Amino acid sequence: MKKVEEVKKISKTITEGEVVEITGHLLESENNLGRSLVVDLDAPKSSNIRQVDHRTIQFIIFRNVKYTLGRKAPGTEELPLKYDSKTPKWTGSKLSAGNWFSSS
């Protein structure tokens, strides 16, 4: 009986996966299966290709704009739901000589 329970637990872990935050670059999207291949920029180069199921995505931040399914994702209350072009992208008081930043 214990073996059956252990097998069920392992299979549930494999099928459900885990919640992960990925900073990545989209390689290709396959609409038929609802999955995308993404390069995880924070992972080691030897194992940085991830397959993401579109149904499990909670939110995406693209060019400082957060896209959700119409609700706030937990833990991201400080991020705006819509980009406001009137607010600056950075504060000038934090810039100093020797610091560099990108406008992209």
Those residues of the chain that have pLDDT short of 70 are 1, 70-84, 89-92, 94-104
Count of the separate structural domains present in the chain: 1
Contact 54, 37 (CB under 8 A): no
**What contacts 5, CB < 8 A, 6 or more positions away?**
none
Residue 4: inside a domain: no
**Domain residue limits at 73:** 21-80
56 within domain boundaries: yes
d(CA 98, CA 75): 33
For residue 92, being part of any structural domain is answered with no
Residue 32 lies in a domain: yes
Within a domain: 96: no
Q: Which residues of 41-64 are buried (b: 16+ CB within 10 A; e: fewer)?
A: eeeeeeeeeeebeeeeeebeeeee
74-90 residue pLDDT tens: 666 666 666 667 777 66
Q: State the pTM of this model.
A: 0.49
In a domain, residue 98? The reply is: no
